[in-house]
Amino acid sequence: MVQNLSEKITLADGNQIPGFGFGCYNSFGDEIADAVRMAVENGYRYIDSATFYGNEDAVGKGIAECGVDHSELFVLSKTWPNAYDKVEQSVMNNLKNLRVEYLDAMLLHWPGTDENARLHAFEQGLRLKEKGVIRSMGVSNFQMDQLERLYEEFGIWPVINELELHPNYQQRELAAFCRERNIQLIAYSPIARGAYVDNQELLAIASRYGKSTAQVVLRWHTQKGIIPIPKSSHENRIRENADIFDFVLTDDELAAVDALECNGRMGQDPYKFPPAELMK
């Protein structure tokens, strides 16, 4: 359990990742550039990006202007399935847009529906890791059978699996599978797009600590060893999201958050996504 914003978790490959990150999805131009800069100014050191977000040039501007050297940051990007036959080219575009010389981690963004393409992409990622172009190789949205297939083919597990994960959708079986294999869980949509603002159980817990329901949920993630990557364009919210390390949820409070599970997935089915129109 990380105890502060800058504390790091050691991945299975020996590299370290901050235990709390900043998501860059669905924000563009100066808005995301400013948000990245503000996040770093407020202590964030892990920036989570992706080719598909269509904003990495602006994210790169924020990184370049944040005043902190890349060596002190963890910059992650993801390759979209339409580039699984040209992963190196995709990563080189990431580097150019993000204005960095290497990626701290590269993830395959979705498993996609073509197993051969998926395996080829992972192999290309491992080669880029050998070259030092990326430091850690991981995946996003991969299910147990898809992870096992990677292990069967390459004899190693990806060191990261980034998933939709929040109290309403905890993916418990998959999460346990990853933990047993030392695959670090990263949670996108960690506060379920504001779904818990009026939750009475969480409001009761939050009131005990003078916190918001979002802060309670983010603390729940960190105490369970999950890295949350909340996103916001507003500095007060960026600061508030990270202000979760001055309280600790009790076992009973953790159990109360656990009990919110309702299989409430908001995103896509990893076995069917992305559709053909998003593969162009």
Nearest to 48 by CA among 21, 30, 17, 19: 21
**Can 53 be counted among the known catalytic residues?**
yes
The amino acid occupying position 104 is D
Catalytic residue among 46, 53, 169, 196: 53
**Cα 108 to Cα 159: distance, rounded to the nearest angstrom:** 12
Which tokens go with 228?
A: 């949350």
CA angle 76, 81, 84 (to 5 degrees): 90
Closest C-alpha to 189, from 165, 171, 167, 213: 165
Vertex 156: Cα angle to 70 and 154 (nearest 5)? 110
- Please tell me whether the peptide bond between 270 and the residue prior to it is cis, using omega within 30 degrees of 0: no
Residues known to be catalytic: 53
